[in-house]
Amino acid sequence: MVSFWPFKGDSNDAASFEKILSQLSTKITKATAQNERFQQRRRRYKVLWTLYSVFAYILVAAILTLVTGYEKWGAVEYSLVAGSPVVIFGIRTALDAYYNWRIANSQNHINELQEERNKAIERLKHATKYDSTQKLLEKYGGSPPEKRQPSPRPNAKRQSTGGPGSKPSTPIHGRTGFAPPPTANIPSRQPPPSAPQIPQVEPGFVPRPPASPNSPILPQLEAPGEEFAPNAFTRPPTLQQPSQYAYDGPKWYDRILDVVLGEDETSAKNRIALICQNCRLVNGQAPPGARTLEDVGRWRCSQCHTMNGVESEEKKIL
Q: What is the mean pLDDT of the chain?
A: 71
Give how many domains the chain has, as a whole number. Answer: 2
Q: Is 132 inside a domain boundary?
A: yes
Last residue of a domain, one of 97, 123, 138: 138
119-146 confidence digits (pLDDT tens) = 888 888 887 777 777 777 777 765 554 4
Confidence of residue 94 (pLDDT cuts 50, 70, 90): very high
Amino acid, res. 200:
Q
- Pairing, β 282-285 against β 299-300: unpaired
Last residue of a domain, one of 114, 138, 162: 138
Neighbours of 78 (CB within 10 A): 12
Confidence of residue 245 (pLDDT cuts 50, 70, 90): very low
Last residue of a domain, one of 112, 138, 164: 138
Q: Taking the chain, what is the end-to-end CA distance rounded to the nearest angstrom? A: 28
What is the rounded CA–CA span in Å between residue 76 and residue 82? Answer: 10
Q: Is 312 inside a domain boundary?
A: yes
What is the rounded CA–CA span in Å between residue 19 and residue 3? Answer: 23
Lowest mean pLDDT among 96-105, 157-166, 207-216: 157-166
Q: Is 105 inside a domain boundary?
A: yes
Q: Is 144 inside a domain boundary?
A: no
Q: Is 32 inside a domain boundary?
A: yes
154-197 confidence digits (pLDDT tens) = 444 444 444 444 444 444 444 555 565 555 555 555 555 555 55
Q: Is 62 inside a domain boundary?
A: yes
Q: Is 38 inside a domain boundary?
A: yes
What is the rounded CA–CA span in Å between residue 106 and residue 112? Answer: 10
The parent domain of residue 282 ranges over 270-317
Q: Where are the beta strands (DSSP E) in 212-316?
A: 273-275, 282-285, 299-300, 307-308
Residue 151 has pLDDT above 90, yes or no: no
Q: Is 147 inside a domain boundary?
A: no
